[in-house]
């Protein structure tokens, strides 16, 4: 008997699941708290909790991770220098640390529009080769002709031997600057992702797991580990992608919407006819607009670990994430006594950080730069046991600015009351220490003139409404969420009706099923094993490959030529039918070649082709023809 394993290292939990290959049944799973920034410990803990007798028969392992996303969000990627060739327009508010723009680039038909200033490139390489770990290169219209990018890449190789990422290798979309940004971020991630993958391989070896290793991309497809190392940027948002794919698998739905309630956020996405819906513009992460094709999703900064705090006698939920009190109390029982002795600060001082139920602890991460005097004073008063705001400031309560800076730098971790705690009070979820949740809910309830049950029910209702609002905001793209909220909260004798299933995923999401059904008329599904849906998605993602080929009709005087552009290559044909025949054959070959590398046989791959012609009125030949090839298949589960 053979098995496959999926692993998802999420923001809160790291999940592992084992699936039997013969029938696709889930036979074992486990959840463990994610250990950030060292994800390996959380992965070890997750694997320790599954039946070890299955491990020697596992033949395929697939992973999804928050590593790339968090690295970009925190700005902790490796140092990279970016070289751009052509007539670039650089936004004034850019945050590229090290770049140069030189003469060069090509036109829309692949013709050279400026000679490459190779001496300026050479000088920039010399200035930076000892200061960076990699280079990124982008030239104008490299998707039509990558000659200048390849020249620069070869020069960097000869002069430094450092890794170099070219824009045309990652995207075939227009937008030279954003292709450059994509290459820049990708180069930052390569050493980090390489280390992570090698660590996973080492852990597999330690456990005698002799299996192929795959990684889930942000478009819901899986890639071989070599490509994952080369293009780690494509793993951003792989967590939401894993949720979407896992939800469709668990609910046996080819078309469905998905609400994934995580620790930090609630994500809504959709899959239609087994294909995830993608965003047209490319993924935006940490303020960077990339050219990475990711699933389209609507995200709310309200999750199971969102901090609940009181101001003006009203509860606020988020947007900051904290460690739930019920979770923290299992590791630090002293929190219980500290909660019982908690003092409510003055109403004027109450804020996100100044709350009677909030605690602080060192994260374990060491400062990478010198702290200011005010930061250092606060940091010295926070140790390895949770301390309240009154414990940090013995004489008076300060402005919380410097404490907030320590949290932003991830030197200090916050603990507080969350929707997960509210569910413990209501008895809907009982995974952790409910006494801590009840004690805190009593305090917060008094601050809002409610008993603890009324207070927690109010929190739960708001989370459910948030889920419904963002689901409808996803489906009704042109309608502002505030308008949707009016319909959901108002008494209009009507409610939204959906003709597609709504699948719920997340640890305690079962508590919200009936609440969502009351708000929206839809088939709301809570599939079995929904609590490990991300790990399932990491494993059951299909091999999906999209290839775009463009044919341009170019007229020079009386001569007409048809140029085929595909993945940085250009080929000229005399007639449009010849170009079309070549493009169709080459597109299919590229898809099948990719699938073969992913472990798929040609007979297991379905290729769909769409064609779009742009023609002038009365012209028999199209000015442009775009062919899009989409190959879909399921990876083989053997070595």
Q: pLDDT (tens digit, 9 = 90+) per residue, 75-98?
A: 778 899 999 999 888 887 788 889
List C-alpha distances in Å: 171 to 78, 98, 177, 568.
Answer: 22, 22, 12, 10
Lookup: tokens for 483 = 């308008």
Quickly count: other Cβ atoms within 10 Å of residue 161's Cβ: 9
Tell the burial category of 37 from Cβ atoms under 10 Å away from its Cβ (0-12, 13-18, 19+). middle
Rounded mean pLDDT, 104-110: 88
> ω into residue 37 within 30 of 0, thus cis?
yes
Task: Kindly state the tokens that stand for 228.
Answer: 């994952």
- 3-state DSSP percent of the chain in helix, strand and coil, to 5: 40, 25, 35
Q: Say which residues have a Cβ less than 8 Å from residue 134's Cβ, sequence separation at least 6.
A: 78, 80, 162, 163, 164, 165, 187, 188, 190, 191
Q: Is 188's pLDDT higher than 60?
A: yes
Contact 583, 549 (CB under 8 A): yes
The helix/strand/coil state of 617 is coil
Question: What residue segments make up the domains of the chain, in order of their start?
Answer: 306-456, 543-633
Query: Average per-residue pLDDT in the chain?
Result: 87
Residues paired with residue 411 on neighbouring β-strands, in sequence order: none
Closest by CA to 182, choosing from 67, 282, 66, is 282
DSSP string, 80-145: EEEEEESS----TT---SSEEEES--B-TTS-B-S---HHHHHHHHHHHTTT-SEEEEEETTTTT-
pLDDT over 90 (residue 602): no
Q: The pTM is what?
A: 0.78
Q: 605-623: per-residue pLDDT in tens? A: 888 899 998 887 656 678 8
Distance CA 129, CA 376 (A): 35
pLDDT at 375 (0 to 100): 82
CB-based contacts of 186, cutoff 8 Å, min separation 6: 136, 165, 170, 231, 232, 233
State the first-to-last Cα distance of the chain, in angstroms, to the nearest integer.
Answer: 14
Residue 126: is its pLDDT beyond 90?
Answer: yes
**pLDDT (mean) for 549-560:** 79
Question: How does pLDDT run across 286-330, given as a tens digit for each residue?
Answer: 778 888 888 888 888 788 888 999 999 999 998 888 899 999 999
Query: What is the reported pLDDT for 394?
Result: 57
pLDDT range class, residue 636, cuts 50, 70, 90:
low
- Here the tokens at position 14 are 């790291």
**Among 164, 170, 132, 162, residue whose Cα is nearest residue 151:** 164
Per-residue pLDDT tens for 154-176? 999 999 999 999 999 888 788 88
Q: Which residues pair with residue 216 across a beta bridge?
A: 222
What mean pLDDT do residues 171-183 have? Answer: 88
Pairwise CA distance, residues 338 & 421, whole Å: 17
pLDDT on residue 109: 81
- Residue scoring higher pLDDT (545 or 309): 309
Angstrom distance (rounded) from CA 429 to CA 49 = 21
CA distance linking residue 149 with residue 147, whole number of Å: 6
Residue 403 neighbours by CB under 8 Å, 6+ apart:
353, 360, 378, 392, 412
DSSP state of 288: E
What CA–CA distance (Å, rounded) separates 328 from 335?
8
Nearest to 221 by CA among 282, 310, 112, 294: 294
Distance from C-alpha of 176 to C-alpha of 314, rounded to nearest angstrom = 48
Beta pairing, strands 13-20 & 323-324? unpaired
Q: What is the share, in percent, of the chain residues with pLDDT greater than 90?
A: 40
Residue 606, both tokens:
């379905």
pLDDT greater than 90 at residue 49: yes
Per-residue 3-state assignment (H helix, E strand, C coil) for 167-198: HHHCCCCCCHHHHHHHHHHHHHHHHHHHHHHH
Average pLDDT over residues 191-209: 90
Strand 266-272 to strand 275-276: parallel, antiparallel, or no bridges (unpaired)?
Answer: antiparallel
What is the spatial distance between Cα 160 and Cα 187, in angstroms, rounded to a whole number? 15
503 pLDDT tier (thresholds 50, 70, 90): very high
Inform me whether the pLDDT recorded for 592 exceeds 90: no
User: In the chain, what is the greatest distance between 2 CA atoms, to the nearest angstrom?
Assistant: 89
CB atoms under 10 Å from CB of 427, counted, come to: 11
- Residues 214 and 610: their CA atoms lie apart, in Å, by 28
* Residue 193 predicted with pLDDT over 80: yes
The angle formed by the CA atoms of residues 205, 209 and 210, to the nearest 5 degrees, is 95
Distance between CA atoms of residues 183 and 129, nearest Å? 17
Residue 639: per-residue pLDDT: 40
According to the model, what pLDDT value does residue 452 have? 94
Per DSSP, 235 falls in state: G
Crossing angle of helices 39-48 and 176-206, rounded to 10°: 40
The confidence band for 539, taking pLDDT boundaries of 50, 70 and 90, is: confident
Q: What single-letter DSSP state applies at residue 344?
A: P
pLDDT of 191 reads 87
pLDDT on residue 494: 81
Enter the tokens of residue 181. 């940004």
pLDDT of residue 287: 76
SS (H, E, C) 29-60: EEEEECCCCCHHHHHHHHHHCCCHHHHHHEEE
Residue 293 in 3-state DSSP? Answer: coil
Bridge partners for 9 per DSSP? 14, 65
C-alpha span between 223 and 598 (Å, rounded): 6
Q: For domain 543-633, give the CATH number.
A: 3.30.70
How far apart CA 471 and CA 468 sit, in angstroms, is: 5
Alpha-carbon separation of residue 553 from 159, 172, 534, 575 (angstroms): 40, 19, 46, 9
């Amino acid at each position: 008997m053979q098995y496959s394993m999926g692993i998802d290292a999420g923001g809160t939990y790291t999940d592992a699941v084992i699936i039997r290959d013969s029938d696709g049944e889930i036979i074992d799973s486990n959840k463990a708290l994610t250990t950030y920034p060292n994800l390996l410990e959380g992965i070890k803990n997750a694997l320790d909790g599954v039946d070890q007798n299955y491990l020697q028969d596992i033949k395929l392992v697939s992973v999804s991770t928050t590593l790339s996303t968090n690295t970009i969000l925190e700005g902790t990627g490796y140092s990279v220098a970016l070289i751009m060739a052509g007539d670039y327009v650089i936004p004034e508010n850019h945050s590229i640390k090290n770049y140069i723009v030189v003469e060069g680039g090509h036109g829309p038909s692949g013709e050279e529009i400026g000679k490459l200033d190779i001496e300026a490139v050479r000088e920039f390489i010399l200035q930076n080769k000892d200061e960076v770990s990699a280079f990124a290169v982008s030239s104008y219209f490299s998707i039509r002709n990558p000659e200048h990018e390849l020249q620069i890449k070869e020069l960097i190789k000869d002069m430094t031997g450092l890794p170099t990422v070219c824009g045309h290798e990652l995207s075939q979309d227009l937008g030279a600057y954003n292709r450059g940004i994509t290459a820049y971020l990708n180069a930052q991630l390569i050493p980090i992702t390489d280390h992570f993958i090698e660590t996973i391989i080492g852990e597999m070896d330690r456990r005698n797991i002799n299996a192929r290793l795959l990684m889930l991309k942000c478009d819901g497809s899986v890639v071989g580990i070599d490509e994952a190392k080369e293009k780690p940027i494509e793993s951003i948002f792989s967590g939401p992608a894993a949720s979407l794919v896992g939800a469709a698998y668990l609910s046996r739905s080819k078309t469905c919407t998905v609400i994934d309630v995580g620790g930090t956020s609630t994500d809504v996405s959709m899959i239609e006819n087994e294909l995830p819906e993608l965003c047209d513009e490319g993924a935006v992460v940490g303020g960077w607009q990339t050219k990475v094709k990711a699933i389209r999703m609507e995200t709310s900064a309200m999750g199971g670990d969102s901090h609940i705090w009181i101001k003006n006698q009203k509860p606020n939920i988020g947007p900051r994430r904290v460690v739930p009190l019920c979770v923290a109390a299992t590791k630090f029982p002293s929190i219980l006594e500290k909660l019982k002795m908690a003092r409510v600060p003055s109403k004027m001082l109450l804020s996100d950080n100044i709350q009677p139920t909030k605690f602080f602890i060192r994260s374990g991460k060491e400062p990478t730069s010198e702290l200011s005097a005010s930061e250092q004073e606060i940091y010295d008063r926070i140790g390895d046991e949770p301390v309240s705001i009154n414990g940090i400031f013995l004489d008076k309560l300060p402005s919380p600015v410097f404490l907030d800076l320590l949290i932003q730098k991830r030197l200090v971790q916050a603990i507080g009351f969350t929707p997960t705690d509210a569910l413990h009070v209501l008895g809907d979820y009982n995974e952790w220490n409910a006494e801590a949740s009840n004690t805190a809910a009593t305090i917060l309830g008094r601050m809002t003139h409610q008993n603890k049950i009324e207070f927690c029910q109010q929190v739960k209702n708001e989370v459910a409404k948030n889920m419904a609002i963002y689901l409808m905001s996803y489906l009704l793209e042109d309608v502002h969420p505030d308008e949707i909220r009016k319909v959901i909260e108002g008494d209009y004798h009507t409610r939204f009706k959906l003709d597609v299933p709504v699948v719920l995923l997340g640890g305690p999401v079962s508590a919200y099923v009936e609440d969502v059904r009351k708000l929206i008329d839809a088939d709301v599904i809570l599939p079995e094993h929904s609590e490990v849906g991300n790990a399932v998605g990491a494993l059951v993602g299909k091999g999906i490959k999209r290839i775009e080929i463009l044919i341009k009709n170019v007229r020079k005087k009386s001569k007409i030529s048809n140029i085929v552009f595909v993945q940085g290559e250009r080929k000229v044909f005399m007639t449009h039918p010849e170009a079309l025949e070549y493009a169709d054959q080459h597109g299919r070959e590229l898809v099948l070649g990719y699938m073969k590398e992913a472990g798929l046989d040609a007979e297991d791959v379905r290729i769909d082709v769409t064609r779009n012609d742009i023609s002038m009125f009365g012209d028999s030949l199209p000015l442009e023809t775009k062919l899009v090839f989409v190959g879909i298949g399921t990876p083989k589960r053997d070595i």
